[in-house]
Amino acid sequence: MYNKLNMSLIIFSVIFWVIAAITILLKSRESLKTKTGLIKIVKPIPALAAAVFTIYMNLPSPALFYLLLAIALVLCALGDVGMEINILPGLGLFLFSHIFYTSNFFFQSLTLGLTIIPLTAFGVCLVIMIGYIFFYQRYLKTTQKEVEPALLKAVNVYALMISLTLSTALLLWFSSEIMLGFIPLIGAIFFVLSDSIIGIREFHHDIKNAELIILSTYYLAIFLLSLGAILYTF
């Protein structure tokens, strides 16, 4: 069992990070940015690999937790393609992925039984994130770029949803009492960081080496989130 786990994790990690590195190279080098067709093919592969890994590690009958996690990862892969076309479809697909992450983490926490400490941690985390969204929105409004107010509102909805992903990841960790449950939580934190940088780049100002930072933190986020497939046993 452990040999299978170790070998599968090694193979998955190699595939994931080799393709991720290729994507980061393609997106970071000005001379390669024109290869949009190739990027659309390569960019979603790590998330798809993570979805396959999630299901494979829990065969023959994956529980609902792993199925929902895999769906969220597939939606991330679709979002990767969408972002290469236009930010709106990309944002919409990632919004749905976070709906699945949040629903999955919350439902599993509910199944395990909610107690005062996990609920308090969830509430505190969510309040902090709402405060973060408030100040983040105020910062974006100081931009010299022309940004449609409706688009900023859409960003706020997305920010709230990703905050719920982070908060419910914390809730699940506390509810499960699994020591390494903090790893998917760190993944959710990196997701917030990656998307925050995207927002600043798109709506406020250009950032040096933005693609390198955004993709590195994003791929780290989904990699760590996908490890929930082996860290949590339901």
Distance CA 83, CA 93 (A): 9
Q: pTM of the entire structure?
A: 0.93
Query: Could you tell me the two tokens for 175?
Result: 């509810």
Q: State mean pLDDT over 200-226.
A: 93
- Residue 131 is part of which domain span? 2-231
Distance CA 230, CA 234 (A): 10
Residue 37: which pLDDT band, with cuts at 50, 70 and 90? confident
Determine the pLDDT at residue 207.
86
Residue 152: which pLDDT band, with cuts at 50, 70 and 90? confident
| Total domains present in the chain | 1
Residue 87: which pLDDT band, with cuts at 50, 70 and 90? confident
pLDDT exceeding 90 applies to what percent of the chain?
A: 71
Distance CA 85, CA 90 (A): 8
